[in-house]
Amino acid sequence: MRDRRRARELAAEFHRRGDPTGWFEALYREAEEGKSTIPWADYHPTPHLVGFWIQHPQQTAGKSALVVGSGLGDDAEQLAAYGFRTTAFDISETAIRGTRKRFPNSKVAYHAADLLNPPASWCGRFDFVFEANTLQVLPAALRPQATKNIAAFLRPGGLLLVIARHREPSDPEGQMPWPLTRAEISAFTAHGLKEVLFDILPDVSEPDVRRFRVLFHRP
Ligand SMILES: C[S@@+](CC[C@H](N)C(=O)[O-])C[C@H]1O[C@@H](n2cnc3c(N)ncnc32)[C@H](O)[C@@H]1O
């Protein structure tokens, strides 16, 4: 069982202060100082990304990928190993610094950046965008802007792979990380994307969790 107590405490404290994304940096700093742990840090690529690739290998030669909320970098390194020219970003400067330390010879371009206000130069630039578990740690009111910005990263012909905790609309919202409904995942289609693959899969490490794994295409 992952220990999310400190993450939830910090999230609640920063929400009260009107800074709903400030707690990520605070948590990564505490972790760097050995005072907390990062509940989502697995130190290996997301199994639902690796599983997707086994079932649906993609052409990567000459193509670019972007990883949203890259955490400690394992998924970005995996996409670079698949052959993409890879960019990855996280809102936490400490996470980005820690990632660069973990992968000193990385080919990935890591940036500290905010999904809610990303660099304009990333708009329409990427062939493959990977988002795992970031939408679900943002409060519901911020998800529509985050969804719109993620969709905008894709160039025509590009693919977006999204992984997120699943709940039925009748289930309670629960605590952070808030599981998403199908309607929240399908919101990408309001920004010009078409859903091409849709799965709800059991989680490898948490048997009571089910996750969406959804692939979108920008025509
Ligand atoms: C739950 S973690 C998931 C990390 C990784 N994607 C994974 O699946 O293991 C969410 C990550 O998104 C980052 N994040 C949260 N809000 C963000 C934002 N507005 N812009 C960029 N990154 C953000 C956090 O710092 C954290 O590293």
Q: Please tell me whether residue 20 adopts helix, strand or coil conformation.
A: coil
Lining ligand 1 with CB less than 6 A are 21, 24, 40, 46, 69, 71, 89-92, 95, 114-116, 132-134, 137-138
Cα–ligand 1 centroid distance for 70 (angstroms): 6
CATH code where residue 151 lies: 3.40.50.150
Residue 205 confidence (pLDDT) = 79
Residue-wise pLDDT for 148-192, tens only, equals 999 999 999 999 999 999 999 999 999 999 999 999 999 999 999
Cα–ligand 1 centroid distance for 91 (angstroms): 7
The verdict on residue 28 lying in a domain is no
Contacts of 206 (CB under 8 A, 6+ apart): 2
Boundaries of domain holding 102? 42-217
pTM (global) more than 0.85: yes
Q: Which atom of ligand 1 is nearest to the CA of 114?
A: 20
Residue 1 confidence (pLDDT) = 62
Cα–ligand 1 centroid distance for 17 (angstroms): 20
Residue 149 confidence (pLDDT) = 98
Low-confidence ranges of the chain (pLDDT < 70): 1
The verdict on residue 188 lying in a domain is yes
DSSP letter, residue 166: B
Q: How far apart are CA 40 and CA 34, in angstroms?
A: 16
Q: State the total domains in the chain.
A: 1
